[in-house]
A = this chain, B = another copy of it.
Amino acid sequence: MTHPTHAQSPRPTTRRTVLRGTAATAALATAGLAATGPAHATDVHPKTDSGNSSSGSDGPRIGILLYDGYSLLDPTGPAEVLSRVPGASVTMLAERRGPIRTDTGDVAVLADRSLDEAGRLDVLLVPGAGNRGLIAAMQNRPLLDWIRETNRRTRFTTSVCTGSLILAAAGLLDGRRATTYWASAPYMEKTFDVTYVPERYVKSGKFITSAGVSAGLDMSLYLAARLTDDDTAKAIQLAVEYDPRPPFDAGNAQEASDDLKARALKILEDSQV
């Protein structure tokens, strides 16, 4: 097919209308698109190479911890939402800078700063992982030390999925209510002094834990509201068009059959490297 592309002769209005609904155009007329500028090379370097990646803005500094074997959506769902918080900076952190690969081995996200370079964080988010990555993280004493030390100055310390087990291993959830991946709940309660609450996210003091993987989206919208206000969080929800309608209703472990749970865990295990 050698169909000519429409993009060869874009209408003069293209640059100003692609992302704008007509209803919103008037309200945005003064904002202009000049701030976004022409396309330029930002494919390698973060906003800045030193200091705060929010280019001097005074919004919350959000650090997301990456470690080998995390589950991809755990850090990236919240990063999508939280990067829309006005003035916020979101920085991917790991023990060493560089690409950190997921539990399936399929994808790597770049850690832009090492833990030593993280600086003070307003929000720390610890994602979950498959067994291999999770066990390694829970046994990584320097990592747990860094989490404890960083937690001293955060406004919120948060987790997605089995990330709460890492917070628990760091001793931060003792005596608290928390959530985790559904299949890890018995382990959490057996191993730590933590009361499992089967909600999408659970706040206990400044700690906010999320249920499995996708629950980080719900948690991060809640967190966005805490960092700003409900109206801003609602605008962020609309900005990412988060009006979920999955084709099935099978995501709740409390309603799932034993067979479906066994299939889900087998699928997870088989997908991991």
Contact = CB atoms under 8 A, between A and B. Distances in A.
A230 B235 CA distance: 34
A200 B248 CA distance: 13
B68 A77 contact: no
Contact of A43 (B101, B132, B239, B270): B101
Contacts of A134: 18-19
A58 to B, nearest CB: 14
A43 B31 contact: no
B83 A39 contact: no
Contact of A101 (B18, B46, B105, B253): B46
Contact of A76 (B15, B73, B172, B273): B73
B18 A214 contact: no
Contacts of A247: 218, 221-222, 225, 233
B72 A83 contact: yes
B250 A264 contact: no
A182 B161 CA distance: 30
Which of A133, A165, A247 is most buried by chain B, counting CB atoms within 10 A of its CB? A247
A53 interface: yes
A265 B19 CA distance: 8
A181 B246 contact: no
A208 B248 CA distance: 17
A17 interface: yes
A261 interface: yes
B18 A131 contact: yes
B24 A261 contact: yes
A227 interface: no
A235 B267 contact: yes
A104 interface: yes
B239 A268 contact: yes
Contacts of A182: 21, 238, 241
A261 B21 contact: yes
Nearest to A109: B109
A213 interface: yes
A24 B262 contact: yes
A71 interface: yes
Interface string A28-64: 1001010111110111111100000100000000000
